[in-house]
Structure formats: structure tokens, C-alpha cells
Amino acid sequence: MNSNLTAILRETFGYEQFRGPQQAIVEHVVGGGDALVLMPTGGGKSLCYQIPAIARQQAGQGVAIVVSPLIALMHDQVGALHEAGVSAAFLNSTLSFDEANDVERRLQRGEITLLYAAPERLTTPRFLQQLDALHARGQLSMFAIDEAHCVSQWGHDFRPEYRALTVLHERFAGVPRIALTATADALTRADIVERLQLEEARHFVSSFDRPNIRYTIVEKKDATSQLLRFIQREHAGADFQDAGVVYCQSRKRVEEIATILSDNGIKALPYHAGLDAKVRQDHQDRFLRQEGIVMVATIAFGMGIDKPDVRFVAHVDMPKNIEGYYQETGRAGRDGLPAAAWMTYGLQDVVNQRRMIDESPAGEEFKQVMRGKLDALLTLAEATDCRRVRLLRYFGEQSVPCGNCDNCLTPPQVWDGTDAARKLLSTIYRVQQASGISFGTGHIMDILRGKATDKVKQFGHERVSTFGIGAEFSETQLRGVLRQLIAIGAVAVDSQAFNTLQLTDASRAVLKGETKVQLRETLSSPTDRKSRRSN
Ligand code: ADP
Ligand code: ZN
């Protein structure tokens, strides 16, 4: 059997050797076992089910059904399989009634080796009956469930249609199932096992490390010019030949940044769901075919796009969680050559993300999980030690400092922000006491730093006892402290009331000095340096 599998790898796919755990996975699935495969993007997941599908078909066991959430991805895969001479087809909403009928007829005649289907298609009564008929004749060889994290509401890409896939186990017991994903922390992983009833499955967990990607996370000052400098400094080449992706939070920002990059001689194109489908397709095609295109996009862009030579992925806004960050940055450097993951993050990102969670219609338990995930990402952003060690630890992997992230290359200075944190919390408290209402960041900063602005005078806040007690700190430093306090839940931002700052139960531990606040020294602003020295 082993030699047959290698023969398929070589003759059908043209590869010399299996990569990493591929061989073990393929053998396990060909042998009829269930599997859960966790492999980073670009690791080679497709072969893990394509080769077993071919081998089992050759052994007379019939068709493999591949569940895939993305139409574009299905088309690419089926196209590539055709080129390799494998009989593959897909069933999704792009087919006409007649075309779908034709696929179904070929399916029943045993002419298809791999059939790709969208989950909502697969679980229709009509299609399940088709599968029943195949199953009864022993012609249903296996199920592959791609992007399996879509089944988990804790994942970053929950798709309710995936929930219905439990039917596969219940209705077709004994047909082997392989679930694959590139993103799964412990929680998501447990959810996949439970939801897809993969209790018996063997787990194949690859290293999630992408050693060729250099991680850099910087504090946001002016994200656009920081981005521009980053590209000009590290990815300009001779005449901007490096392809990259810049992720933004909103469509508006995509447009803005694409324009600014273009104005600076970078071949930037926008991509977001608000653009005409034709324009989107055109931009995607150009990104794939031409050299040196920088795609400025919302997260609508990227899933299933296989471009090996993306030299950088930049985030000008912070993503929701580490899974999202990891998946998006994972699109860089799939060819194994040096690539960069670069992100800016700031107070406003934290506030926005918190607000999106608070205002979502989800239940409280869900919101708690989301807040925890956001905090984990913030902790990564604020970290003063190796980014990679932290990133991998999040996915359950131990490692040693990498020497290829900003913190390893230029260890940051740290300072103890506990005192500043206590001053900040006291100010929020005093001002609330004095006026009976809460205030937002700018106003609190002014009071702390002893600035008697009109608004400060209007409320008589120059008379509160904490007025000016934070004058030794720069605004940047105080914002850093505030960001951390929000991250650890010691300050709440009330999005229902003009983003005013409020104390929480967790504030007390900081006020009492039980919780320490460690911060990165901000080196870039000379006034910061001065105020630190005069301190
Ligand atoms: P994933 O789905 O895990 O992101 P893919 O299955 O798309 O990854 O594979 C990523 C790339 O690696 C593809 O270009 C694929 O052809 C290539 N690849 C996969 N397995 C091998 C192998 N054993 N040898 C060489 N290239 C491989
Ligand atoms: Zn490192």
C-alpha cells in the first residue's frame, strides 16, 4: 500500500516526497481511520485527503466527499485535480439545475473520485439520499471536512451550516472522516471533536511555526505613514516588486490606504465586499498574476488564495484574536523565503474591538470567551519577550526565543507602569465622584497631566485632588497604561455613553498594588525620553 501511495504522490501530483506528517495521515485514512489534522496554512493539507481518496477509489471503495466552505477554493481545487488527471467535480450554487443533475448522474455511475460540496448542499435531504444509495452499495469511501474550525462558534469563522455535519457520523457510521484546519487553539479543537463527533479520531498536530516569517508589532501613532515607511524601508526593492497584503478593519479605510499607497508609487489595489464582484475578481487576478501588487483588503480577502510569494502581511488595525492574526499573517512567505508580518495597534483598536464584542447580540458566555481571546492578542502585542514563543504557546507548542521577531532582534526597554496606572484609576474615580458622571480618555488625560482646558475648567476638575499627578508621564505612556488596563479589564469603556471610562471590580487589585502593570518603553518620541529622565 505504501508504495502505491508514493506512486500517487509522484505520478499524479508530481512531488518527490511526502512533507511532514502527510504520509502518516494518508496511511491512517487509507486504512479507514478517522483523523483530525491541524496543519498551518501552506502545510499541504489537501494531499492528506486527496491521496487517500484516489487510493480508496482505486481499491473499489467509491467516491470521497469533500466539504468545503468556499466556492472559489472548490473551483481551484477541482481545476487542479483535473489537470492532474483526477476525476473531480463540485456541487454548489454556481451550477445550473442541469449541470447539477449531470454531476449527480456521474456520481451515481461511480465516475467521480472526489466530489466537493458546500455544507448546506451536502445536508439537503435530496443529497443525503444520493449518499444513502452510494453507501448501500459500498461506494462512499470517505468524508473530508476542510476548514473544520468553521464548526466552532469560538473559531473566527463560524459557519452554522457546519453544525449540520454531525449527520455524517450518524447516518454513515463506519465511513472514515478526516477533518482539517489551520487554526485551532485548545478550545476550538475540543469543539471540533465534540461537534463533529471525532472522539475516536487520531490527532495529527503539526508544528505551527513559520520560521521564515518575521513578526513585528508596533504601537500605532499614524498607521498610514508607519505602514508606508515599513513598505519603503523593507519591501521597496528596486521598484516595489514585493507582493503584500494590508489588512484593514473597514471598507473606508481600505479605500483610503489603497489611495495613499498608490500615490506613493506602490501598486496597491483595494479589495472588500462593497466592491463590485467583477472589480474584486479583477483585483484578485492581478494580485495573483502580476508582480509586486499590494492588496489592501478587509478580511474578506485571502481565504483559499494560494500565492506562494507574498512577502509581507501588514495589519493596520488589530484583528479580533490570535487565530485571525495567525491565519492572516500565515499568508506570507508560503514559499519558505523570508517574509514579514507587521502590525500596528493602539488604544482605539482595543476600544473598538471591545465595543464590537459588547454590542454583539451574542450571549454573555460567548462574549466572555471573545474578550479572553482579545486579551490574549493584546498580551501578545504588548509582550516584551519573543513573539513566536508566545504565539506558539497559544497553540499549545513549546519553543525557545526565535531570533527572528522584533523583540528578539531589538529587545525593548520595559518600565513599571503600576504607579501611573494607580494615578490613572484614582483620577477616573475622583472625577466620577466630583461630577457624578464619567468622562472619556482625552479629558482624563488632561486632568492627569494638569492641563486646565476649557472643559476641565467648565467642570471644575482643576480642583480634584489628582489634577496634575500624572504630569511626569507623557500622553503616549499614559495611553499605553490605559490600553493595558482595558486589556486586563481594570477599566471599562462604556460604548453606550460616549466611550467614557469606568472602574471595574478588577480596578481594586491595581489600586492596591496587587496587580503590576509592565509596559514597553516607547522609544520613538523624544518628549517621552525627556519626561522619563526628569522623573
Ligand atoms: P494548505 O491547504 O495546508 O494551506 P495546500 O494543500 O494548499 O496547503 O498546499 C500548499 C502548497 O504546498 C501547495 O502549493 C502544494 O502543492 C504544496 N505541497 C503540498 N504537499 C507537498 C509535497 N509533499 N511536496 C511538495 N509540495 C507540496
Ligand atoms: Zn522571537
pLDDT tens digits, residue range 481-490?
A: 998 888 777 8
Per the structure block, which three cell numbers stand in for 95? 451550477
How far from chain centre, in Å, is Cα 353?
Answer: 14
**Residues with pLDDT less than 50, the chain:** 523-535
233: three-class secondary structure by DSSP: helix
Residue-level pLDDT at 368: 82
CA 473 centroid distance within chain: 34
Do 306 and 334 contact (CB within 8 A), yes or no?
yes
84 within ligand 1 shell (Cβ under 6 A): no
23's grid cell: 504520509
Check residue 534 and give its pLDDT. 35
Whether the predicted model's global pTM rises above the 0.80 cut: no
pLDDT score, position 184: 67
The ipTM (two decimal places) reads: 0.97
pLDDT of res. 238: 58
Phi, psi of 472 (to 5 degrees): -75, -15
Q: Which numbered atom of ligand 1 lies nearest the CA of 16?
A: 24
Q: Is the CB of 41 under 6 A from ligand 1?
A: yes
Separation of alpha carbons 180 and 149, rounded Å: 8
pLDDT (0 to 100) of residue 239 = 65
Which protein residue has the closest C-alpha to ligand 1 atom 20?
44
For atom 24 of ligand 1, the residue with the nearest CA is: 15
Atom of ligand 1 nearest to the CA of 13: 16
Tally Cβ neighbours within 10 Å of residue 1. 11
Grid coordinates representing 398 are: 513549546
- For ligand 1, atom 5: residue with the closest CA: 44
